[in-house]
Amino acid sequence: MNERHAPYLMDTKATFDCATFGFDNARIQEALSVLGLHAEHAKLAERIRSEATEGEAEALVHSCCVALARERSFALIERSMGIECFTQTWTRHLRDYGQDFDTPKYFGERLAIAAAFVRAKIPLGILQLQHSLTQQALINNLSVKFADDTATLRPLIDCILKLNSLDVYLSAEGYRLPQIDELRKALTRLRKETSHWHQEASTDQLTGLMRYNTLMETLDHHINMAHRGHDGRSGSPLCVAMIDLDFFKKINDTHGHVVGDFVLKHVAGRIQAAVRDFDMVGRFGGEEFVIIMTSTHLELAKVIAERIRKGVMETPLHLKELSIPVTISVGVAMLRPGERKETLIERADKAMYKAKEAGRNRVMLAKDTGGTGDTGDSETLPEL
C-alpha cells in the first residue's frame, strides 16, 4: 500500500490516542450523555448491522460514493488518499457500524480520520457529507424493510441519528476547522434531518396528526404525569375527547374515497384550529380522532369539544363544484384516579356512541361515576 494512504486505512494498533484530542474517559462519557447514547443503543446498533449492513456494506458504500463523487472536492481524495483506500475504510466502518461506540478505540479512530483529512487538505464538508450519505442509506434501507412496522423502525432510526451525530461531532473535533459557520450549518442540517425523520415516524401522512402508536405513547406518558401531579403528591386533571365523523361512509359512497380523504384532512385542520396550543391531537384510526387535554377539568374539556364541533359544522368542505357539509360526534371523558388509558379511551368512546345514538352532531360527557350526560346541545346533522 502507498504510504500516503496509510493514515486513512488505519491499523487499530496504530489508532490515535483519544487523549491526543483531549478525550479522556470522562469526556467520552460526557459526549455520550449529551447525545443520549446509552447501553441500549449497542443492541440497536447490532440490529442495524444485521438488518442493513451485513452482506450489503460494499453495495451501500458504492452507491454513496457515486453520490459523493458529484462533490467537486471529491477529486482531492483520489489525489491524496486514493479511492480504494477511502472506500475500504468506509466499508469496514459500515460492517462494524456502531460497534463499541462507547470506547476510546471508536473515538480515536474517528478523530484520527478527521486529522488525516486535515493533513490531506480535504474540506470538512466531504467528511460530513460521507456521514450524511451513510445515514441516509441506512435509513432508506431500514424504512423499506420495516415500512409497516413503525414500532421497530423508530428506535432504529433514532439510534442511527444519534450515532451519526456522534460521528459528526468527532469529525468536527478532530478537524478543528476555524470556520465555525460551516460547522453551524452542518449541525443545522443535521437537526432538520433529525426533525424530519422523527416527524415522518410519528405523523399520519394524510392528516398531519400524530399516528396511533405515537398517540398512545403520548397518552400513556401524560396519564402517568397526571396521576403523579405537578407536585409529586396530588393528581392533575386530564381529559380525552374521542371524535368520529358522522355519516362518513355515506360521503365515501357518494363522492368517492379521494373526496373522503379530503374530508378527513379538512376535519383534522378544523380540529387543530379549535384546540389550544398545548392540546395534542392524533388520528385514532379511520375517521376517528383523539384529543389529549392536560390540566383540564371536564367542564373546560366540554367547552373545547363544543368549540371543535361547531367549527366543523360551520365550515363545510368546498372542493371544486362540491360543498360538503360535515359534522362530528364527540365523547369526552376525564381521567379517574388510578385509571389507565384503555378504560379512559373506552369511556370516551362510549360517550361518543351515545352522541351518535342521540342524533349525532353533538358532544356527550362520560360522567365521573361511569354514566354519560349530554352537553345540552341538540343541533342535528345537516342533510348531505
Residues involved in catalysis: 287
User: Is the Cβ–Cβ distance between 308 and 330 less than 8 Å?
Assistant: yes
Sign for the CA dihedral angle at 147, 151, 153, 157 comes to positive
- CB neighbourhood size of 223 (10 A): 19
What's the per-residue H, E or C state across the chain? CCHHHCCCCCCHHHCCCHHHHCCCHHHHHHHHHHHCCCCHHHHHHHHHHHHHHCCCHHHHHHHHHHHHCCCHHHHHHHHHCCHHHHHHHHHHHHHCCCCCCCCHHHHHHHHHHHHHHHHCCCCHHHHHHHHHHHHHHHHHHHHHHCCCCHHHHHHHHHHHHHHHHHHHHHHHHHHCCCCHHHHHHHHHHHHHHHHHHHHHHHECCCCCCECHHHHHHHHHHHHHHHHHCCCCCCCCCEEEEEEEECCHHHHHHHHCHHHHHHHHHHHHHHHHHHCCCCCEEEEEECCEEEEEEECCCHHHHHHHHHHHHHHHHCCCEEECCEEECCCEEEEEEECCCCCCHHHHHHHHHHHHHHHHHCCCCCEEEECCCCCEEECCCCCCCCCC
Cβ partners under 8 Å of residue 351, min gap 6? 242, 331, 332, 333, 364, 365, 366, 372
Three-point CA angle 221, 223, 224, nearest 5°: 65
